Structure 1
Amino acid sequence: MTNLEPASGTRRSFLRASGLGIGALAASPLLAACNNQNQTTAMPRYTGGDPWRRFEGTTINFISENTAPTAAIAANLKPFTELTGVNVQIVNLELTALVQRVALDMASGHAQYQVIYADPYQVLAPYSAGLADLSEFVGADGYPELGHGGLKDFIPTQLNAAGKFVDDEKVFALPYDCPTMIWQYRKDIFDTYGGRMADDLGFDITPGADRTWEEYFQMAEWINGNADEVPYGTGHQAKQHDSLMCDFSNLLWAYGGDYFENGQDVGLLGTKDPGQSLLNQPEAKEAAALYNKLVGIAHPGSRGWDWDGVANALRAEQIAMTPNWHENAAANESVLPGKVGYAPLPKGPKRNAHMYGGCGIGIADNSQGAERGAAFLFLAWATSQDTQLANLKSEAGGGTPTRSSVYELPEVRKAENRPSELPNMLTADAVNFAWQEANIGLRPKIPMWNECDTAIFTGLSQMLAGQGNPEETMDGISDHVDRIVERGWVA
């Protein structure tokens, strides 16, 4: 495995300095040329035999964000090499650096990185023209089957959100990881104080989908003043960062707000023209008001924390509960064994909503010859039931599966309850609820999302710092997002 340091500078400045503006890249003659070239590049002819051995001796490169599944796979590539005879070199980068590298590689004419960690918002939406349509391989003669029902085995909302863009008939990536935000709480503290808290507050305080965000606020405030084990009832990933947008979005959707019209469709399949922003609507302003109030009584470190910061705060016994990515469960259990519970996030006036942060892996469309075919072998293996189970067990990382069939395995079902040898599975009930179409939270899958995201978390951060009230803040963010969308996908 090769590890490279993240490149410095922002994605936009990097592309501009390189002469590869985002809009220019989308229509790049080089990209168009390599797409045409792939249609005629000789692929080794399949003459029968084991399709897994068809590209034996080939070396491919996989560029990935430094995620749990990739850590697990990098620690044990031997099974893939033994199965296929293909060598894989893995480059791990911070996501912004990965996007920069992928953008340049797609315009180069020939892929240096054949397998790409295709973040739906930063890679798939803006660069789908540079990713291969996997129908070229899935079910085609000379390639192994995906197994266990093929594409239908992937959790449907994840296949759409992480694998497709605009065209429902094309699949550009296979679901690879699936971090989803759920309610994580100190079970031991709730066991100790639950009776008193319920009596004082006048409602059932059991964490779960029946609680409301207003009740969550009251519970956090009660813990602030009554629990000795932790100084604060809640903590949030409210740093001026993508994490702030993720944290706020759970309330936005729960209160009936959204970023654009038809938000679920824009999140599942995506669009190139989402229309006017809805962030100036009453539902969005109501959500912002409660979020502002909630962070106001949260641990003061919240405004400097991203998802890692708030996860560490829970494990350091600084907070009693937090919304955060479910894949923190394994680390929680290693530090606070048996003390952390997992539940769906609270509901708002409209619904329960849980930010989904999963990504897929795809093939660079300027991959050629045997490298192109070997890349699909890696996709098929890396997302297979056996590999996802091995990742779940890995001490190097792992993540949680994206295939429904893995969750039906007896040893996986057993691990949903303590004592668990697969601690991420302790979140199974919560995430299965979260992944239902009515409960999943999907940010807009649009080519210009990066700029919109920055406008959103910058405005929210200013609100949390007291530089504007929720109504003014959401009006300002909405106007900014509209200008970005009207300008289109440009550098």
Structure 2
Amino acid sequence: MPPAPAPPPFTRRRFLGLGGLGLGAAMLAGCSSPAAAPPPAPTPGEDLWRRFAGTTINFISENTAPTAAIAANLGPFAELTGVTVDIVTLELQSLVQRVALDMAGGQAQYDVVYADPYQVLAPYRKGLVDLRTLVDDPQYPPLDQPVEDFIPTQLRAAGTFGTDGALYALPYDAPTMIWQYRIDVFEKYRDRMARDLGFDPAPGPDSTWEQYHRTAAWINEHVSEVPYGTGHQAKQHDSLMCDFSNVLWSYGGDYFADGAGVGLTGSDDPGPCLLASEEAVEAAEFYNDLVGIAHPGSRGWDWDGVGAALRAGEVAMAPNWHEYAAANEEALPGLIGYAPMPRGPVRSANIYGGTGIGISATSEGARLGAAWLFVHWATSQATQLSNLESSVGGGTPTRRSVYEMPEVEAATSRPSDLPNMLTADAVTAAWEPDRIGLRPKIPMWNECDTAVFTELSRMLAGRQSPRAAMERSANRIDQIVSRGWVA
């Protein structure tokens, strides 16, 4: 993804300033979903999977691992349903722009939508179908496993907003940031590091961020196999907000009061920003010091950059999304380990980046019905297992029943045919309520995110103090939130 030195060109203000499109966005944010024409009813005895044979639908997605796997293996869905699926994959910001324009236009170009909770679901939820109306409809095939089979936290975070009871998306992917480290480096130097540092440096449930910092500094000085102890995704980009948030929450800081509730349930009015708190300032001071001893490339890396650096032997450890495990195993088989994030003074926090897929409320008729068949199939137990086995993608299951399959349980240990499952212990711990990190699910989060990573970038460049970065971020977020979403 490209750097974002200023708020992105397609901000809310610009969107609301684009004449008719602005009016469409305001109406979309404030009104209920339009009543779409329903699909034709099935005939008696009709195969419910083939009701819409001959229909073509469009799926717009971020370029993610599960979508890569599905795009490479659409044959089973086409054979099952007779439906053709055209898939468009984009980086997230471009996807958000396309979806906003499509919904404001009132005629669906995209039937199935990768509904990022923060940049799509929260601001545009009124333009998504409430999937409750389809889940139990006897005119469709029943789900192979009930909705309750989805991991509960992910179902709420990626599929719902507020207390209206609507289900806007089914959990589709579950990237979560965890601690990734070179097993061989820690095995070789563990005893020596322990003697010099006075603690066991091996990643574990009691490891702290202070110990992580001291271990990284020790590796910088004493280890020849890798040039730097740690690397970070500290580019002026969404990745910087993600990387910092793990530290922020671990120090007891947060973006808003009831941060867990705002992240899980969502809110149109989250209240004053808390980034100017002493806990947040302390977290920023620590993060500034940590990036200061990290690989100097960190300030130009997003998640792809730090992932490549770990695989290339440039760093001994790094926080990153767990779904890089498959690439790690290909480049350095057996040499990368996985653990939950270190603890701060308050807790360990692991940012969750999962997303669901939903259906545009402007999709109608046979396309609406075919879109639901695809959402049903793409999030099913069988498809999630197939994605895990894919040679081109994978993702991580969002259904509990998939983790209980014998072949999936066996793959959590090496040798593994499903390398993303090597992270299972780490991510399962990371998804526990006291460890999961949930950014604010608010309609205006895109602008708030930009404010945070812009001010953090200025801090890392030495252009302002950590306290100033937090105070400026809080002030900018308060201004953004006070404007609200509907003009």
TM-score tier (shorter): over 0.9
| 2:194 counterpart (187, 192, 198) | 198
CA shift in 2, pair 1:72/1:244, >3 Å: same
Residue 368 (structure 2) pairs with residue 364 (structure 1):
no
Residue 101 (structure 2) pairs with residue 104 (structure 1):
yes
Instruction: Give how far 1:15 is off.
Output: 3.0
In the alignment, what sits opposite 2:382?
386
In the alignment, what sits opposite 1:474?
470
Residue 6 (structure 2) pairs with residue 10 (structure 1):
no
Residue 431 (structure 2) pairs with residue 435 (structure 1):
yes
Give the distance between the partners of 1:20 and 1:280, measured in 2 at CA: 38
Instruction: Give how far 1:50 is off.
Output: 2.4
Give the distance between the partners of 1:77 and 1:367, measured in 2 at CA: 21
Give the distance between the partners of 1:28 and 1:203, measured in 2 at CA: 55
| 1:125 counterpart (122, 125, 138) | 122
CA shift in 2, pair 1:257/1:28, >3 Å: closer
Asked if the contact 1:14/1:100 (under 8 Å) is kept, the reply is no
Residue 414 (structure 2) pairs with residue 414 (structure 1):
no
| CA deviation string 1:195-239 (max 9, x = no partner) | 000111111212022101011000000100011100100000000
Give the distance between the partners of 2:316 and 2:22, measured in 1 at CA: 43
Instruction: Give how far 1:107 is off.
Output: 1.7
In the alignment, what sits opposite 2:448?
452
CA shift in 2, pair 1:379/1:258, >3 Å: same
Q: Percent identity among equivalent residues?
A: 64
Matches within 5 A, 1:65-144: 65-144=62-141
Matches within 5 A, 1:261-272: 261-272=257-268
Give the distance between the partners of 2:350 and 2:409, measured in 1 at CA: 22
Asked if the contact 2:38/2:368 (under 8 Å) is kept, the reply is no
Moved more, 97-106 or 239-248: 97-106
SS state at 1:361 partner: strand
CA shift in 2, pair 1:281/1:117, >3 Å: same
| CA deviation string 1:258-295 (max 9, x = no partner) | 00011011001100001100001111011101100100
Give the distance between the partners of 2:20 and 2:128, measured in 1 at CA: 17
| CA deviation string 1:344-387 (max 9, x = no partner) | 10011111110001111000011111111111100000000110
> What is the identity, as a one-letter code, of the residue corresponding to 1:263?
G
Matches within 5 A, 1:71-470: 71-148=68-145, 150-167=146-163, 169-470=165-466
Give the distance between the partners of 2:24 and 2:55, measured in 1 at CA: 32
5+ residue gaps in structure 2? 1-7
5+ residue gaps in structure 1? 1-8
Asked if the contact 2:113/2:359 (under 8 Å) is kept, the reply is yes
Matches within 5 A, 1:30-45: 35-38=33-36, 41-45=37-41
Give the distance between the partners of 1:411 and 1:42, measured in 2 at CA: 40
Instruction: Give how far 1:190 is off.
Output: 0.2
> What is the identity, as a one-letter code, of the residue corresponding to 1:56?
A
Give the distance between the partners of 1:23 and 1:225, measured in 2 at CA: 59
Asked if the contact 2:60/2:110 (under 8 Å) is kept, the reply is yes
Give the distance between the partners of 2:34 and 2:353, measured in 1 at CA: 33
TM-score by length of structure 2 reads 0.95
Asked if the contact 1:253/1:351 (under 8 Å) is kept, the reply is yes
SS state at 1:323 partner: strand
> What is the identity, as a one-letter code, of the residue corresponding to 1:135?
R
Give the distance between the partners of 1:354 and 1:168, measured in 2 at CA: 28
Aligned-residue CA RMSD (Å) = 1.6
> What is the identity, as a one-letter code, of the residue corresponding to 2:275?
L
Give the distance between the partners of 1:151 and 1:236, measured in 2 at CA: 36
TM-score by length of structure 1 reads 0.95
Alignment size in residue pairs: 478
Asked if the contact 1:155/1:403 (under 8 Å) is kept, the reply is yes
SS state at 2:443 partner: coil
CA shift in 2, pair 1:218/1:28, >3 Å: closer
In the alignment, what sits opposite 1:5?
none
Give the distance between the partners of 1:444 and 1:37, measured in 2 at CA: 30
Instruction: Give how far 1:486 is off.
Output: 0.7
Residue 86 (structure 2) pairs with residue 51 (structure 1):
no
Instruction: Give how far 1:32 is off.
Output: 5.8
SS state at 2:256 partner: coil
SS state at 1:321 partner: strand
Give the distance between the partners of 2:295 and 2:332, measured in 1 at CA: 19
| CA deviation string 1:285-308 (max 9, x = no partner) | 111011001000000000000000
Instruction: Give how far 1:11 is off.
Output: 2.1
In the alignment, what sits opposite 2:19?
19
Give the distance between the partners of 2:69 and 2:198, measured in 1 at CA: 46
SS state at 1:245 partner: helix
> What is the identity, as a one-letter code, of the residue corresponding to 2:27?
A
Asked if the contact 1:168/1:269 (under 8 Å) is kept, the reply is no
Instruction: Give how far 1:97 is off.
Output: 1.1
Give the distance between the partners of 2:91 and 2:282, measured in 1 at CA: 34
CA shift in 2, pair 1:211/1:129, >3 Å: same
